[in-house]
Amino acid sequence: MSIGIGVIGTGVMGAEHARILRHETPGAHLAGIFDANADRAQTVASGATVFSDPQSLIASDQIDAIVIASPDATHAALTRACIAAGKPVLCEKPLASSAADALDVVQAEVALGRRLIQVGYMRRFDPGYQEIKRVRDTGELGGPVLLHNVHRNVRAPEWFNGSMAVTNSFVHEIDISRWLLGSEMVSAHVEAGPGGEPLMITMKTDKDEIVSTEVFVNAGYGYHVHVELVGRQGTVSLAPASLTLLNRDGAGGHSYPDNWVPRFEEAYRKQMADWVSAVKTGASVGASAWDGYVASAIAEQVAEALAGNGVAPLRYGPRPSLYD
Ligand code: ISE
């Protein structure tokens, strides 16, 4: 049976999720679309029902499950509406634009007593990151001592404001670091370069590992994401995510994409396929609402530290047993 998916929001990510659903996801079909910009919704829908508001999409019996890809500030209220309707959700990161809102979503799910939310931390489905986790889990590198992350964008999107380099970009590094190391972050220290960027964030984990992250959202030359895990007996890092090497004019090298969509194409496809399978069986995959809350809670405290003395003793509540 093919399940009907509704997509809320048709910006860069909503349009990409709709495309993946239409062309690359067996067992599911794009059944409905909502976007505040009706023309944009119509273009992306190509035949699917265009709803005039997100509530009617969520309530419709054509829609079995929902992808939320609208602006960050709308995520929490929409995921809560889906929980109230008892429908599974793949919500783009971040889960909410504040830790308090993210915790409200967690509490709504805990009150329901079953997990309906997956947060779109798609790197967990990227073959490179999965290989690094596999190597780490074999123990062949010895105990991990350091994780170096690099997060560089060509330029910040025009809708970036205030501390979004932390709450919208750095959140990926929080999630992937927790997932790769299987550790919780206990403290953070943040510094900004001249004029406010790049950011350099150093976190300590509950196992005393160091996690260093550079976030440079106006790096200019290309979309470049990198990680190196350092163990006591070796290291493992991502190789350049490029299909070809070009030699020309006395130089050689690989190219970088403009943004995250081509870089994480395979991860987005795999994330959708695994989510659709999980919806069918009632299983849970990927980042949970709890993971989404922890990422947003840490990001919020790092953003406060950036505006203050640079130091954040990280705090978040105990994990409810629903997420064990
Ligand atoms: C964007 O929203 C993403 O999720 C990208 O993966 C990230 O690299 C970028 O910095 C964010 O703004």
26-82 residue pLDDT tens: 999 999 999 999 999 999 998 999 999 999 999 999 999 999 999 999 999 999 999
| Total Cβ atoms within 10 A of residue 78 | 22
264 CA closest ligand 1 atom index: 6
Q: How far is the CA of 161 from the centre of ligand 1 (A)?
A: 14
**Residue whose CA is at the smallest distance from ligand 1 atom 9:** 169
Q: How far is the CA of 151 from the centre of ligand 1 (A)?
A: 9
Distance CA 228, CA 216 (A): 17
Q: How far is the CA of 112 from the centre of ligand 1 (A)?
A: 31
Q: DSSP letter at 159?
A: T
**Residue whose CA is at the smallest distance from ligand 1 atom 1:** 169
By C-alpha distance, which of 278, 312, 296 is closest to 104? Answer: 296
223 CA closest ligand 1 atom index: 8
One-letter-per-residue 3-state SS of 41-92? HHHHHCCCEECCCHHHHHHCCCCCEEEECCCHHHHHHHHHHHHHHCCCEEEC
215 CA closest ligand 1 atom index: 10
Look-up of token digits 């910040």: 156
> Which residues have CB under 8 Å from 80's CB, separation 6+?
104, 105, 108
Report the number of secondary-structure helices (H) and strands (E) in the chain. Answer: 11, 16
Average pLDDT of span 193-204 = 96
36's tokens: 């505040």
**Residue whose CA is at the smallest distance from ligand 1 atom 10:** 169
> Which residues have CB under 8 Å from 50's CB, separation 6+?
32, 33, 34, 38, 41, 42
Give me the domains of the chain, ranges plus CATH numbers: 3-123+267-287 (3.40.50.720), 127-259+295-313 (3.30.360.10)
Distance CA 230, CA 193 (A): 25
By C-alpha distance, which of 294, 319, 299, 268 is closest to 90? Answer: 268
Stronger pLDDT, 162 or 11, i.e. the higher one: 11
**Residue whose CA is at the smallest distance from ligand 1 atom 4:** 169
217 CA closest ligand 1 atom index: 10
92 CA closest ligand 1 atom index: 4
What's the pLDDT band for 192 if we cut at 50, 70, 90?
A: very high
Q: Which residue among 122, 153, 225, 268 has the greatest number of ligand 1 atoms within 8 angstroms of its CB, and so is best to mutate?
A: 153
Q: How many CA atoms lie within 13 A of 322 on its CB side?
A: 18
Query: Is the whole-model pTM more than 0.95?
Result: yes
Q: How far is the CA of 11 from the centre of ligand 1 (A)?
A: 13
Supply the mean pLDDT for the chain.
97
The answer, yes or no, to whether residue 289 has pLDDT greater than 90, is yes
The answer, yes or no, to whether residue 187 has pLDDT greater than 90, is yes
**Residue whose CA is at the smallest distance from ligand 1 atom 12:** 169
By C-alpha distance, which of 97, 91, 71, 262 is closest to 171? Answer: 97
The answer, yes or no, to whether residue 312 has pLDDT greater than 90, is yes
Q: Cis peptide leading into 94, omega within 30 of 0?
A: yes
138-163 residue pLDDT tens: 999 999 999 999 999 999 998 898 79
Contact of 155 with 284, CB cutoff 8 Å: no
pLDDT of residue 1: 87
Q: How far is the CA of 168 from the centre of ligand 1 (A)?
A: 6
Q: Which residues line ligand 1 (CB under 6 A)?
A: 153, 168-169, 172, 217, 260
The answer, yes or no, to whether residue 242 has pLDDT greater than 90, is no
Q: Which residue among 17, 260, 261 has the greatest number of ligand 1 atoms within 8 angstroms of its CB, and so is best to mutate?
A: 260
156 CA closest ligand 1 atom index: 12
Q: Which residue among 158, 168, 173 has the greatest number of ligand 1 atoms within 8 angstroms of its CB, and so is best to mutate?
A: 168
**Residue whose CA is at the smallest distance from ligand 1 atom 3:** 169
